[in-house]
Structure 1
Amino acid sequence: MENTLVFIHGLESTAQGTKGQFFHQNFPRMIIEDFTGDFSSRMHKLVDVLAGKTALIIVGSSYGGLMAANYTMENESRVKKLILLAPALHLPEFTPYTHKQLHLPVIIYHGTNDNIVNPYLVKDIALKSFINLEHHFVDDDHSLHKTFPILEWQRLLKEDRLNTRTNA
């Protein structure tokens, strides 16, 4: 069965933003939707878009990372891997899931110069919530404008098994 690739943009972005365009050009079969409105509206749309789909590999950026994490907490059996870019896990919308743990591979990239989402607070939350975590601090800002284009996306978007935590 082929994996279903999904990208979820951040609060102030769109599917036509830098990351969305990158994925559209390099992974044309990736699901890249526009999400607007409040958190509940965005989540309802995400659930509708992904209805009936399995073998999901989800990339979420910032607020989209929060959406991806929440979706996966509710649908872990349908998701193979989660890749989070400066995820907004510190927001109250993630609080209901802080008692739950995901066992699937989760990879986080977060800039140490992020002045929007505290990278150290997010790492603390992630260590408690994601059993199979690969965490990377990078010398970058919230948008990961230096890091994002040089990540090994071909490798990252393949299913693989992460066996140990990497906590850089």
Structure 2
Amino acid sequence: MFFLHGLDSSSKGTKGRWFARHFPEMCIPDFQGDLTTRISALEALCRGCNKLVLVGSSFGGLMATCFAMRHPNRCQSLVLLAPALNFPEFSPPEEKIAVPTSLCIGRQDTVTPPDKVLPLAQQTFSKLQIFSYDDDHMLHNSFEELDWDKLLHKK
């Protein structure tokens, strides 16, 4: 299990610290650089690992998606928190990927607006569950209330 933080965040951000407290077995690395650099670092960290559960927030959600597009057979599931699929670096694959994916997004998100992100997610994943909340990009009001055991397939 890996948590992939956002572009301007780190393993010490709010979500990283929360996951460290509640899921101490989760790997929470720090990433820097552009998307290509970050994905290369993730690939190095995950070398030899299968049945990966990737939780990605914002730019980390974009990273998780790109990793799953390259390595769908190595991913057990994805949890995408307001994923930055609307960034210019991303385009959906020609064929949808069959990695079970839970996407959580705030209806007031102005960084990764649902009207831009959700169609891209629907073009990318064949096994997509969407959870929409009355919240913003950071999911301030809902993040800790999500059913994390279920999302991470611990139930």
Instruction: Give me the whole-angstrom Cα distance separating, in 1, the residues matched to 2:26 and 2:99.
Output: 20
Corresponding residue for residue 111 of structure 1: 106
Q: Does 1:90 align with 2:86?
A: yes
1:28-67, aligned counterparts within 5 Å? 28-67=24-63
TM-score by length of 1: 0.88
> Where do 5+ consecutive residues of structure 2 fail to align?
none
1:119-158, aligned counterparts within 5 Å? 119-158=114-153
Corresponding residue for residue 164 of structure 1: none
Instruction: Give me the whole-angstrom Cα distance separating, in 2, the residues matched to 1:116 and 1:128.
Output: 20
Q: 2:4 aligns with which of 4, 8, 11?
A: 8
1 or 2, which has the higher strand percentage? 1
Corresponding residue for residue 163 of structure 1: none
Corresponding residue for residue 21 of structure 2: 25
Instruction: Give me the whole-angstrom Cα distance separating, in 1, the residues matched to 2:138 and 2:29.
Output: 19
Q: CA deviation at 1:159?
A: 6.7
AA aligned to 2:4 is I
> Runs (4+) of structure 1 moved beyond 3 Å?
none
> Where do 5+ consecutive residues of structure 1 fail to align?
161-168
Instruction: Give SS of 1:103's match.
Output: coil
TM-score by length of 2: 0.95
Paired residues, number: 155
Kept in 1, the 8 Å contact 2:69–2:93? The answer is: no
Change in CA separation of 1:146 and 1:12 when aligned onto 2, cut-off 3 Å: same
Q: CA deviation at 1:75?
A: 0.6
AA aligned to 1:79 is C
Task: List per-residue Cα deviations over 1:39-63 (Å, max 9, x = no partner).
Answer: 1211111111111111111100000
AA aligned to 1:76 is P
Task: List per-residue Cα deviations over 1:139-163 (Å, max 9, x = no partner).
Answer: 0000001111001111211179xxx
AA aligned to 1:30 is M
Instruction: Give me the whole-angstrom Cα distance separating, in 1, the residues matched to 2:114 and 2:68.
Output: 21
RMSD value, Cα:
1.3
AA aligned to 1:29 is E
